[in-house]
Structure 1
Amino acid sequence: MRKLTNTEQEKIKLLTKNQVALSLIEPTETGLKKSIMDATGSVRSYLKSEEIHDYELQKQGPDNKVIIPTVIHTEFKTIKSKASLYRPQTKNGDPRIWFYSLTKIADPNDIIAITYFNDSFQIFNLTKLDVKTLIDSSIQNPFQELINAINTTENEVALELLSMLRKIAGSGPIPSMVDADTSVGRTLETALGIDINSSKQPDYKGIELKSFRNSRTNRKNLFAQVPDWKLSKFKSSAEILDAFGYEREDDFKLYCTVSAITRNSQGLNMRIDSDIKQLIENSDKPEIGDFVVWTLDKLHNRLKSKHKETFWVEAESIKIDNREHFQYKLVEHTKKPITSQFDLLIEQGIITLDHLIKRNSKGKVVEKGPLFKIKPKGIELLFPPSETYSLI
């Protein structure tokens, strides 16, 4: 696809701001004449990630063609159409896509935007359509209605959760459930009626909740992820504990932070090997060396699934009658982390790893992590621009 103009890029920024996920395709002169376009890698990836269509599962030939309803948006009108997705018998069955009536709105090398809403493709000529004017128009129009509907649908759960949080915050400081570092999150989740469990799934209808006291030096939890034991020298948390643990009160434990920019007091650090796409933890003990491994693909997928959408809830800690209370005050709303930044932030020491391993009096080894954490300044580097909401 050709390089986008500055105007086209600005239109995409405006659409992204309005929660519109889309893909782009550039019809050629030959493609318009023959009513055929290659379904490029980016288009195929979009269709698969949005669970619209998977070309890898589609068989070749006209009998396996898939037809999807389509709406073509023009200035103040729409054209009812349809799309065909297929793989021809010829060659390798290279994926094809075509939107009927596309020639009515497109010239060769225009950029066509494709999004999906209300069980239909919604397409428009990004090059020619005055996106901003239509969205801001005082005259109601189909394109404006589409963008508003997408925006409302995408934000429906967030607005519901925000309303609940404001109600909780409006009732004043809430007594802490337990005397622990984790109480700020557990207290809020209980107030929201969310079961306290160890699920890796987001907390509230697809939105992850991360609560923290309003000390700006506190690192924030991203997710927990055990190493890939099959690829690692050590095969369990117990082996890590035996190698680096220490006696503390009644427990034998390893509670420590591991960084890529310095070694900790246990002689541990970590590094990224981009060639083999692994995060590796290392000991300065020559007889141990590299001892556990995470694949970057696994870490990226955990980040995307855990933080597809997140509310970072800030609370003020207040002592009332010698008991900690929480006044929840602010929400930072992030979406769609940039996974390529994850690696860079590890290398910069902004994302670190916490081991939380101990052997109790019964000899059982318990591992609460490993926890990947991020310094407060890293949030704006890991996620696209966020929204901030006051709760009180």
Structure 2
Amino acid sequence: MRKLTEIEQNKIKLLTKNQISLALIEPTETGLKKSIMDATGSVRSFLKENKIHDYDIQGQGPENKVQIDTKIYEDFHIINSKASLYRPQTKKGDPRIWFSGLTKVANPNDIVALIFYSGSFHVFNLTQFNVESLLNSSHINPFKELILEINGKTKEIALELLNMLRKIASSGPIPSLVAADTSVGRTLETALGIDINSSKQPDYKGIELKSFRSSRKNRKNLFAQVPDWSLSKFKSSAEILDAFGYHRKDDFKLNCTVSAITQNSQGLSLRLDSDIKQLIENSDNPEIGDFVVWTLDKLHKRLLQKHRETFWVEAESTSIDGIEHFQYSIVEHTKKPIVSQFDLLIDQGIITLDHLIKRNSRGAVVEKGPLFKIKPSGLDLLFPPSEKYNLR
């Protein structure tokens, strides 16, 4: 896809502020003439991640074509349309997508935006469409109604969760479920009726919950992500542990923080290579050197998946009869991280990596990370302006 103009970028920023998730596609002159477009990697990812369609499991040929109701927006009007998603018999079945009636609103190399909501595609020409004017119009129009409905639904879920948190806070300090650093989050999720699991999905109807003690200004967890072992010299957490681990009492472990701006006591550091879009972990041992790799694309996807919308919940910790209790007091509500900032914050040492690897008594290696964490001061750099709420 071609580089977006500044005007097109500003339109996307305005939609992002309104909680709109979208995909972009650039029809070519040949594509418009033949009523065919390639479903690019970003479009396929958008469809798959939002559980709309998975080309990977779709058969080739017209008998496997999938059609989805579509509305094409043209200023104050809507064109009712159908989206066709298919893989032809020829050319290895390269994924294709087409919207009937698209030629009425798009020219070659315009950027077309796709929104999926309530079982239908909502399509408009980002290049030509006056997004700001329609959203600010005093006249009711279909596009404004769509954005307000999506935005309102998102706010409804956030308000529902906020009210639940306020109810929990009003009951006073809650005893910790376990004596552990993670208890502040586990106790809150249990109070909310959320099952404790290792899912990579957000915790509550698309909203991620991150809890922390107000007395600690530690780094905050963003997400866990193992390296891409297929691109790495080391092929497992066990190899990392064997190379850099140490004995503590009866355990053989590696608990350390790794940064791009300094080496730690194990001689480990991070290096961002923007040219090949990789984050690389390096050892100062010349016999080891670079030993694991993450692709930036994967890290960006994890960030967007985990933190599309997040409640960062602050709790006051007190001891009552020898048991830690939590009084949940403040929520910071962030939305839509700025992915391009992630790389910068890694490079500046504001986002770091923690290894938490241990070989247990049975000889099995357990890895709780690697955890990507951000300094508290970095939240405002990674996320657009947030909202804060007092729970009491």
Q: Normalized against structure 2, the TM-score is what?
A: 0.77
- Name the counterpart of 1:113: 113
SS at match of 1:71: strand
Check the 8 A contact 1:106/1:125 in 2, yes or no: yes
CA RMSD of aligned residues (A): 4.1
Distance (Å, rounded) in 1 between the aligned partners of 2:8 and 2:200: 38
SS at match of 2:372: strand
Alpha-carbon distance change, 264 to 14 in structure 1, aligned in 2, over 3 angstroms:
closer
SS at match of 1:135: helix
Q: Does 1:327 align with 2:311?
A: no
Alpha-carbon distance change, 122 to 176 in structure 1, aligned in 2, over 3 angstroms:
same
Name the aligned partner's letter for residue 293 of structure 1: V
Alpha-carbon distance change, 94 to 258 in structure 1, aligned in 2, over 3 angstroms:
closer
Name the aligned partner's letter for residue 38 of structure 1: M
Distance (Å, rounded) in 1 between the aligned partners of 2:104 and 2:194: 52
1:28-57 residue CA offsets vs partner (Å, 9 max, x unmatched):
77766x462534635555445444445566
Alpha-carbon distance change, 153 to 360 in structure 1, aligned in 2, over 3 angstroms:
same
Check the 8 A contact 1:228/1:292 in 2, yes or no: no
Check the 8 A contact 1:314/1:328 in 2, yes or no: yes
Name the aligned partner's letter for residue 246 of structure 2: G
Check the 8 A contact 1:233/1:291 in 2, yes or no: no
- Name the counterpart of 2:169: 169
- Name the counterpart of 1:158: 158
- Name the counterpart of 1:212: 212
Alpha-carbon distance change, 47 to 188 in structure 1, aligned in 2, over 3 angstroms:
closer
Alpha-carbon distance change, 46 to 376 in structure 1, aligned in 2, over 3 angstroms:
same
Name the aligned partner's letter for residue 220 of structure 1: K
SS at match of 1:151: helix
Distance (Å, rounded) in 2 between the aligned partners of 1:318 and 1:131: 50
Alpha-carbon distance change, 108 to 169 in structure 1, aligned in 2, over 3 angstroms:
same
Q: Report the Cα offset of residue 219 of structure 1.
A: 0.5
- Is there any run of 5+ residues in structure 2 with no aligned partner, and where? none
Check the 8 A contact 1:36/1:97 in 2, yes or no: no
- Name the counterpart of 1:240: 241
Name the aligned partner's letter for residue 327 of structure 1: Q
Q: Does 1:295 align with 2:279?
A: no
Q: Report the Cα offset of residue 166 of structure 1.
A: 2.0
State how 1:31-180 maps to structure 2 within 5 Å: 34=33, 36-39=35-38, 41=40, 43-54=43-54, 65-85=65-85, 97-102=97-102, 104-105=104-105, 111-180=111-180
Radius of gyration: which is bigger? Answer: 1
Distance (Å, rounded) in 1 between the aligned partners of 2:142 and 2:242: 62
SS at match of 1:163: helix
Alpha-carbon distance change, 328 to 104 in structure 1, aligned in 2, over 3 angstroms:
same
Alpha-carbon distance change, 185 to 61 in structure 1, aligned in 2, over 3 angstroms:
closer
SS at match of 1:330: strand
Check the 8 A contact 1:224/1:369 in 2, yes or no: yes
Distance (Å, rounded) in 2 between the aligned partners of 1:209 and 1:50: 20
Name the aligned partner's letter for residue 169 of structure 1: A
Q: Report the Cα offset of residue 211 of structure 1.
A: 0.7
Q: Report the Cα offset of residue 212 of structure 1.
A: 1.1
Distance (Å, rounded) in 2 between the aligned partners of 1:36 and 1:240: 55
SS at match of 2:15: helix
- Name the counterpart of 1:378: 378
Check the 8 A contact 2:245/2:252 in 1, yes or no: no
Name the aligned partner's letter for residue 240 of structure 1: L
Q: Report the Cα offset of residue 19 of structure 1.
A: 1.9
Alpha-carbon distance change, 104 to 267 in structure 1, aligned in 2, over 3 angstroms:
closer
Alpha-carbon distance change, 289 to 213 in structure 1, aligned in 2, over 3 angstroms:
same
Q: Report the Cα offset of residue 21 of structure 1.
A: 2.3
Distance (Å, rounded) in 2 between the aligned partners of 1:18 and 1:219: 29
Distance (Å, rounded) in 1 between the aligned partners of 2:134 and 2:275: 47
Distance (Å, rounded) in 2 between the aligned partners of 1:269 and 1:119: 46
Distance (Å, rounded) in 1 between the aligned partners of 2:90 and 2:364: 61
State the identity %: 69
Check the 8 A contact 2:237/2:367 in 1, yes or no: no
Alpha-carbon distance change, 233 to 15 in structure 1, aligned in 2, over 3 angstroms:
closer
Distance (Å, rounded) in 2 between the aligned partners of 1:244 and 1:304: 32
Distance (Å, rounded) in 2 between the aligned partners of 1:99 and 1:362: 57
Alpha-carbon distance change, 175 to 104 in structure 1, aligned in 2, over 3 angstroms:
same
SS at match of 2:333: strand
Distance (Å, rounded) in 2 between the aligned partners of 1:277 and 1:29: 31
Check the 8 A contact 1:229/1:292 in 2, yes or no: no
Check the 8 A contact 2:234/2:240 in 1, yes or no: no
- Name the counterpart of 1:310: 310
Alpha-carbon distance change, 225 to 9 in structure 1, aligned in 2, over 3 angstroms:
closer
Alpha-carbon distance change, 362 to 132 in structure 1, aligned in 2, over 3 angstroms:
closer
- Name the counterpart of 1:191: 191
1:139-189 residue CA offsets vs partner (Å, 9 max, x unmatched):
443323211222234444433222211222233333334443223212212
- Name the counterpart of 1:256: 256
SS at match of 1:326: strand
Check the 8 A contact 1:234/1:240 in 2, yes or no: no
Q: Report the Cα offset of residue 342 of structure 1.
A: 3.9
Q: Report the Cα offset of residue 87 of structure 1.
A: 5.8
Check the 8 A contact 1:238/1:365 in 2, yes or no: no
Alpha-carbon distance change, 362 to 51 in structure 1, aligned in 2, over 3 angstroms:
closer
Check the 8 A contact 1:241/1:358 in 2, yes or no: no
Distance (Å, rounded) in 1 between the aligned partners of 2:77 and 2:391: 41
Q: Report the Cα offset of residue 3 of structure 1.
A: 6.1
